[in-house]
Each structure stands twice: as structure tokens, then as C-alpha cells.
């Protein structure tokens, strides 16, 4: 190129041959510059020549489907993608029309106009000045309880308005929330049209941000809904409080390492708010709030006065599980209280500071009883409950009217809530964690069937387990060479099989299939073509029986079949697991 021969001082300004040039007009709007662009379109800074104001204009130009001709008109790349391009343009205009009707929705970007020109479509929006929530946290650190409360309510109100109109955002994350100079939030960059396009055509790839996308967004077979936005919003609140996103939902499906915020309990935050965020981050759709109204009731977003607890736990397995919470709480406690405490002689002690200042500004002290009082979580951890024990407790709670919505042996947000409700009903401290006496009372009250061995009491489609193995392939589209076998790594979680299949050339592909009470497996997924890595829609069928899982995957021109085995059954006692096989998933 000629530019390569120029010295840096003489280099001409870079020209974007895809975007509209500065000075170009779209209706009554004149392009000033480019604000940003991605795989779905381009956003411009423009001037409304009639009203004399600056606006932002988003242009529909999916790079995989369309090209710009002669610096102006947008055309489909080929006749094969023309229908997809036109369908996506209709969805884009529908998104603009919906947002334009939402002028009374708080904290939602305002849409002034939408129009068609140059063979494509445009949405004209208010120009927001400020920074994203992501940039705010990177620059200043995590939010205070008051700061989070000020941001949370308007976003909840705006998102509820959008949901009431039958619309989803589908891409809530810190970089899609703008904060003005006063900290007022605005939700931007709705991804509904973009996600719909990715669902329709394999030419466009759905792009998700790890940590903020819900599990159902990783597969085409799972239904998305209000609960999908709630997951993304909960993950964004997690980032605002801790400065870090939660683990990726896909990774959590394989081995859930998420630490509930209610366990961390950062200083000043209402425990109900933290539990509400944890509920919004539940992997199973049925365990998440089903609407903003239901979630709002769980959040109770007023900040709470709470004693700051500094914990230096003994070096034990139970204590190390909570080390992140202790470090985080201690750090916030030093900043809030502003006093120096010598900790070297307090190893193993639990030190509590009262929220009210002590006389003459002297640091609070503890009694001997305070110094040896374990936390409710530590009490329960000392019980060493097995998965079977926890399943019996869930059965006992449900039988007494405290429905845990599942008996998988995992104490998630819903189970903790029901434990606390049961404790309150029996006039015990409602901590959500069990004491030895409470554990024994619930075990004694569990239904007789739950006292049988777990493999006898669990239905084929209920429980958890890891199934691994290989699927052999065959070409079905005309006698081509059979594709290489694929490894499969699937986890049974309730009535779902989730995980991945690994193609030797194309890499990992997500899988989410349904399992009915009889053990019949069904669902859909995407499989690579016989001659490449482009994926097509495929169907799945199979049977779960005991420790074996039989699968039959049928694609456009390929078929993969095989039998997977329970990892526990495949691995002999006292031997190491095969390379690459996960051993940390029950």
C-alpha cells in the first residue's frame, strides 16, 4: 500500500472504507465522526441539522452479511445471505420502534428516530456523555452501599418497563451501563436484534462476555426470557460490589466455584440484597426470580448497619473456603473504622467491632466469649455434610412446606432461604446455616424413602453426576470420509445434561439437553459439518440408565453416536483419573 512507504510524520489520516465518511447525511442528520463499530453495525456521532443538537446514530451493517458499495449504499454480500440480511434489518427496526416508545422509562437510552436509507436502517439516539460502569470501577474501585442503591433503583424501574413491553436486553454488563457526571445510570446497547440474528443464521456468531452471559445463552436449545436479563444484571451488580465478575456460567456448569455474596457479606450491604443477587446468579432458570417485580421483593435494596467482623480463622479446610470473604471484610473494615489493631497475637480469634463509636474514640474490645464464638457457617462446615445428607435435608424441608425446588444435594440460595424460614418457624436464629441439633432434627424428619442409599432413592433424571466418553462419527451426506471421534464431558444437573463435546479440529462446543423422568434424553445443539468447522443445527436423542448415558447426535451431514459412563464408575478406586478428566465435580 502507498501508506506503507510514507514516513510516520507524513502518514495520511486513516480512512475507514466501511463507515460513512464525515459530512455524509442520513436524512436530516450529518455524520461528524465514528463513535464505535462491531460485527453488527457502526455507531456515529452526528448532528441533527433541524434541531441543532448532537445525537448518536447506530447503522445496521452486519459485517458477515453486508458490504458498503461506493461509500454509500449497503448491499447483501451474496444472494445466499440476502434473506438473512433483510430479516435482521426488520428486527433492527423493530428494536428501534420499541425503544422509541419507551421515553418514560427511567435509565433507558432514549431513541429519537429510526429511518431507512442507503439500503439499510438507522436508529437515532440521545448522545450520552460520561463513562461506563466498568470504567468507573476500574478508576475508583467498587461501589459503596449508598452508591449502589442510587444506581440500582432507576435501572430496575427501567428494565421492568422494557420487560413489560415484551422486550429483552440480552446483553447487560458493566460496559453497557453509562454513568453521567452525577452518577445517574443509563442502560445502552440493547442486544436483542443482534442475538436474534445469531440464533437465525450460522453466518453470524453470538458474542457473549464471560461472567455476564446466562447459561441458556450458550446453547440454541434453551429458552431465554426475563430471567436471562436478571442473570446479567446480577453479574453486573456483583462486579460493582466486588470489582470482579462472577465465574463464567459455562465454567460453573462444569464445576461451580462461585462464592455467594451472602457468604462474603461486604461491610454495609444488606444481607437480603446480597442473597437476592446470589438468587439472580442461580444456574438453573427455575431457581432465579422470574420477573423484575419478584426480584425486587428479594433484593430489599436499603443499606443496613452491620457490625464489621474481622476473622482470622484457623488453617483448616472449612476456614480456607471462606478466606476470600475474611480478607475482603477485613480490608473494608480497616478503611471504615480507621484504627490500628495489632493482629499478630490474635491468631484463631474472631474479633467483632460494634457499629457505634466507643467513648473517647478508643477501639472496641471483645470479651472472651466473643473471641471464641464461631460463625454459623463454621458450625455447619464442621458437620461435614455429604451430598446425600444435604439431599435428605432438602427432602425434609420440602415435606414440611419449605420447598427447596430441588433435591440435588447442593445448598444454593433457595435452599439457604428455606433453611432460614424453617429456623424462624421453629424460633431458632434464622442464619440459613444448620447447627448440629437442627441437622439431626431434619434428618429424623426426612421421609423414609430418603434414608435409602442415594442411588436407590433418586429418580433417573434427578441428581448430579459426570458422564464422559467418546462419540464415533459417520458422514451421512454422500459417502465422505467419516469424521474423527469427539470426546464428550456432560454433567447431570437435575433434569438437564450440560457440558461440552470436543471436536479434535474445531474445539469445544456447548451442550444442554433435557432428561425426562423416564431417563429419555432429547434436545438440540450445533455440530460441525463433515468437511469443516462451520456448525449446523442438529438433534440429540438418547437414554440415561444408571451409570451409562447413550447419545445419538444427528446433524445436516454427520452423525455421532456413543455411550458415556459415569466418571465414578469409570475410575477404579485408588487410581488417578485419565489426563484432562475433571475429578472435582460430584
List phi, psi (to 5°) of 368.
-60, -35
Q: 138 among the known binding-site residues? A: no
- Give Cβ neighbours of residue 237 (< 8 Å, ≥ 6 apart): 148, 152, 277, 280
| Whole-angstrom distance, CA of residue 26 vs CA of residue 118 | 8
Contact 497, 549 (CB under 8 A): yes
Cell of 528: 460441525
Contact 416, 395 (CB under 8 A): no
| Whole-angstrom distance, CA of residue 506 vs CA of residue 525 | 15
- Residue 68, SS3 per DSSP: strand
Question: Which residues is 467 bridged to in the sheet?
Answer: 490, 566
Reference 377, options 329, 343, 337; nearest CA is 329
Reference 234, options 332, 356, 160, 152; nearest CA is 152
Name the one residue in this structure whose C-alpha cell is 435494596: 301
Contact 380, 393 (CB under 8 A): no
Reference 531, options 577, 490, 478; nearest CA is 478
**Biggest alpha carbon distance in the chain?**
88
Question: Which residues is 521 bridged to in the sheet?
Answer: 515, 542
Question: Which residues is 178 bridged to in the sheet?
Answer: 132, 186
| Whole-angstrom distance, CA of residue 407 vs CA of residue 393 | 9
- Residue 6, SS3 per DSSP: coil
The secondary structure of residue 81, as a DSSP letter, is: G
| Whole-angstrom distance, CA of residue 441 vs CA of residue 396 | 9
| Whole-angstrom distance, CA of residue 442 vs CA of residue 314 | 29
CA distances from 176 to 172, 201, 278, 428 (A): 6, 25, 21, 43
- Residue 548, SS3 per DSSP: strand
| Whole-angstrom distance, CA of residue 113 vs CA of residue 99 | 10
| Whole-angstrom distance, CA of residue 230 vs CA of residue 130 | 25
> Residues within the annotated binding site?
58
Q: Provide the annotated binding site for ATP.
A: 58
Amino acid at each position: 500500500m502507498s501508506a506503507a512507504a510514507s514516513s510516520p510524520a507524513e502518514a495520511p489520516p486513516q480512512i475507514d472504507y466501511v463507515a460513512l465518511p464525515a459530512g455524509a447525511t442520513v436524512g436530516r442528520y450529518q455524520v461528524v465522526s465514528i463513535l464505535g463499530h462491531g460485527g453488527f453495525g457502526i455507531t456515529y456521532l452526528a448532528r441533527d441539522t433541524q434541531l441543532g443538537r448532537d445525537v448518536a446514530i447506530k447503522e445496521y451493517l452486519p459485517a458477515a452479511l453486508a458490504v458498503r458499495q461506493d461509500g454509500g449504499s449497503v448491499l447483501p454480500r451474496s444472494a445466499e445471505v440476502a434473506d438473512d440480511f433483510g430479516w435482521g434489518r426488520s428486527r433492527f427496526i423493530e428494536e428501534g420502534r420499541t425503544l422509541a416508545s419507551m421515553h418514560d422509562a427511567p435509565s433507558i437510552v432514549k431513541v429519537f428516530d429510526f429511518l431507512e436509507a442507503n439500503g439499510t436502517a438507522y436508529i437515532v439516539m440521545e448522545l450520552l456523555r460520561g463513562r461506563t460502569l466498568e470504567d468507573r470501577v476500574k478508576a475508583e474501585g467498587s461501589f459503596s452501599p449508598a452508591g449502589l442503591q442510587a444506581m440500582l433503583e432507576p435501572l430496575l424501574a427501567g428494565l421492568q418497563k422494557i420487560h413489560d413491553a415484551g422486550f429483552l436486553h440480552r446483553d447487560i454488563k458493566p460496559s453497557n451501563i453509562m454513568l453521567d457526571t452525577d452518577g445517574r445510570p443509563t442502560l445502552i446497547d440493547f442486544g436483542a436484534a443482534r442475538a436474534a440474528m445469531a440464533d437465525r443464521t450460522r453466518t453470524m456468531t453470538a458474542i457473549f462476555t464471560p461472567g455476564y452471559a446466562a447459561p441458556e445463552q450458550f446453547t440454541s436449545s434453551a429458552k431465554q426470557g426475563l430471567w436471562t436479563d436478571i442473570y446479567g444484571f446480577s453479574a453486573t451488580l456483583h462486579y460493582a460490589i466486588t470489582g470482579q465478575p462472577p465465574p463464567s456460567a459455562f465454567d460453573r456448569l462444569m464445576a461451580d466455584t462461585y462464592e455467594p455474596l451472602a457468604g462474603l457479606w461486604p461491610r454495609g450491604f444488606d444481607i437480603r440484597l446480597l442473597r437476592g443477587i446470589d438468587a439472580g446468579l442461580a444456574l438453573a432458570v427455575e431457581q432465579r426470580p422470574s420477573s423484575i417485580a419478584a426480584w425486587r421483593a428479594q433484593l430489599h435494596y436499603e443499606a443496613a448497619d452491620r457490625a464489621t467482623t474481622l476473622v482470622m480463622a484457623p488453617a483448616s479446610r472449612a476456614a480456607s473456603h471462606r478466606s476470600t470473604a475474611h480478607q475482603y471484610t477485613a480490608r473494608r473494615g480497616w478503611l471504615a473504622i480507621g484504627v490500628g489493631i495489632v493482629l499478630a497475637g490474635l491468631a484463631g480469634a474472631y474479633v467483632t467491632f460494634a457499629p457505634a463509636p466507643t467513648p473517647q474514640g478508643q477501639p472496641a474490645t471483645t470479651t472472651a466469649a466473643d473471641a471464641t464464638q464461631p460463625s454459623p457457617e463454621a458450625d455447619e462446615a464442621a458437620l461435614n455434610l455429604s451430598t446425600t445428607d444435604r439431599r435428605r435435608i432438602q427432602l425434609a424441608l420440602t415435606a414440611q412446606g419449605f420447598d427447596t425446588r430441588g433435591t440435588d444435594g447442593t445448598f444454593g440460595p433457595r435452599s439457604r432461604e428455606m433453611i432460614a424460614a424453617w429456623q424462624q418457624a421453629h424460633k431458632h436464629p434464622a442464619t440459613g446455616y444448620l447447627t448440629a441439633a437442627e441437622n439431626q432434627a431434619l434428618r429424623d424428619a426426612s421421609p423414609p424413602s430418603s434414608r435409602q442409599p442415594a442411588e436407590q432413592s433418586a429418580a433417573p433424571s434427578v441428581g448430579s453426576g459426570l458422564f464422559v466418553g467418546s462419540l464415533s462419527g459417520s458422514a451421512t451426506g454422500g459417502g465422505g470420509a467419516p469424521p474423527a471421534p469427539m470426546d464428550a464431558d456432560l454433567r447431570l444437573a437435575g433434569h438437564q445434561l450440560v457440558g461440552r463435546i470436543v471436536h479434535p479440529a474445531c474445539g469445544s462446543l456447548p451442550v444442554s439437553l433435557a432428561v425426562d423422568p423416564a431417563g429419555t434424553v432429547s434436545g438440540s445443539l450445533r455440530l460441525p459439518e463433515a468437511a469443516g468447522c462451520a456448525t449446523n443445527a442438529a438433534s440429540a436423542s438418547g437414554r440415561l440408565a444408571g451409570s451409562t448415558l447413550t447419545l445419538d447426535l444427528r446433524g445436516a451431514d454427520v452423525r455421532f453416536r456413543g455411550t458415556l459412563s459415569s466418571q465414578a464408575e469409570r475410575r477404579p478406586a485408588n487410581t488417578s483419573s485419565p489426563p484432562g478428566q475433571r475429578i472435582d465435580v460430584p
